[in-house]
Structure 1
């Protein structure tokens, strides 16, 4: 039996790159929601003080991973496993839209505030003097958090759909992204 890591996607399962990007983003989202939970539920605690400063940085990392993932998906579009049904197609589409919109709105709000932003020690945007750009800060204020909580519901739905498939005995869906053989 040959143990070879398949980098590219196939009709039966996602390759190592797609799986790696998926699970790296899953870990980053777990971190993002931990930072958010600590900030809302334990404001000014030691945990909040430790986690919250990483929120923007990990959000930017998620946006970068998403862009790489989208590019990789385009390069593999003819090899990827087919969608299970219309609900899965719509659900994944909504996940991708939210995953892009949330950090975009966060960056827009950051720029509009006039404050500088550095991530992982690298300057991302410089600040500016003068009044805030109101429409940018308002758009970010109005939708960044709302879409963040909406994304969390979509993620819970994504996981619940996987669990439902497994309960029904269809573990092939899990194997497509978790690895292992594609046989039922």
Structure 2
């Protein structure tokens, strides 16, 4: 029996599936966000322990990488917007577009709030050992205040949006069997 060869995955998105760049951005961000939320969840439940420090000690570095990936993903999404798989029509399609827009917006605001806080802080911002922002003397209170108010709270909102995203993918896979998961994770249907 001859084996069916699949065509190579394109770099860009098509109307049938997401391309290699979108997949790399999506899954690398998913892994890094999982790391961030695991660390923060452990911090809330266990307090400050060596295990928690293992995860939270990289929070600033991982967050910085995430911000760069998020910016790249937004730019890539805009550049590919006419070539991506459709979210569908009707109320469900509108809900899917609104959910994705909310997720993108929160993914941008959460690290931006942390960067605003870092810029206004009395501490040097050097996530990889080289200084990005100097320490502010005195601290710029409104920047730190906005960062403190938004970063953590909207981070948990982001987790809720991500959970909703995962649940909806599960519904598409289990109930509607419309190939939604395959468009980002595997071969296209048909």
TM-score, scaled relative to structure 1: 0.93
* Conservation of the 8 A alpha-carbon contact between 1:21 and 1:69: yes
SS at match of 1:122: coil
SS at match of 1:81: coil
Q: 2:132 aligns to what?
A: 124
Spell out the pairing of 1:7-22 with structure 2 (5 A cutoff): 7-22=11-26
Q: 1:89 aligns to what?
A: 97
- Provide structure 2 residue ranges, at least 5 long, that are not aligned to the other structure: none
* Conservation of the 8 A alpha-carbon contact between 1:35 and 1:54: no
1:171, distance to aligned residue in structure 2 (A):
4.3
The total of aligned residue pairs comes to: 182
1:114-171 C-alpha deviation (Å, 9 max, x unpaired): 211112333222213x221111111111111110010100000000011111121424
Q: Which moved more, 1:102-111 or 1:39-48?
A: 39-48
SS at match of 2:132: strand
**What's the C-alpha RMSD, in Å, of the aligned pairs?**
1.3
Q: 2:76 aligns to what?
A: 72
Q: Could you tell me which of 141, 151, 156 is aligned with 2:163?
A: 156
- Provide structure 1 residue ranges, at least 5 long, that are not aligned to the other structure: none
SS at match of 2:34: helix
For 2:189 and 2:34, locate their aligned partners in 1 and report how far apart those are by CA, in whole Å. Answer: 27
For 2:94 and 2:178, locate their aligned partners in 1 and report how far apart those are by CA, in whole Å. Answer: 19
